Amino acid sequence: MGKHVLLIEDEPNIIEAIRFILARDGWRVDTHSDGRTALQAVQARAPDVVILDVMLPGRSGFDILKDIRALPGLSGLPVLMLTAKGQSKDREMAERLGASRFMTKPFSNTEVLASVRELVEP
């Protein structure tokens, strides 16, 4: 079972919360906060799962997800999308672009942990 997460998020409080929850459960957590270089970070770090925020500086999470899904080696990578907006059009867009799962902020710690575990465990 993989235990490496790449968290692409730019809000420090959310980064710390997610890092804490996952690290306590034994995950190695890398973080990245710039939308422009997020795809390179995914390629360089080869995580088992990506947690991707929709609203990022430089590029949207939707654009990054589209790029991830377009690369043969990354097309099956589990991606959990985070958004501050609970709008159904965001959820539909995330699903259309191939997000593995979608979560709205604020979320509970147990929700994040359960989702990440389910995405990497068969």
CATH code of 67's domain? 3.40.50.2300
- Per the structure, how many domains does the chain have? 1
Position 62 pLDDT exceeds 60: yes
pTM confidence score:
0.94
* Contact assessment for residue 31 and residue 14, using Cβ atoms and an 8 Å cutoff: no
- For residue 76, what pLDDT band results from cuts at 50, 70 and 90? very high
> Is 101 exposed, middle or buried (CB count within 10 Å of its CB: 0-12, 13-18, 19+)?
middle
Position 1 pLDDT exceeds 60: no
Range of the domain at 107: 4-120
Average pLDDT over residues 69-86: 89
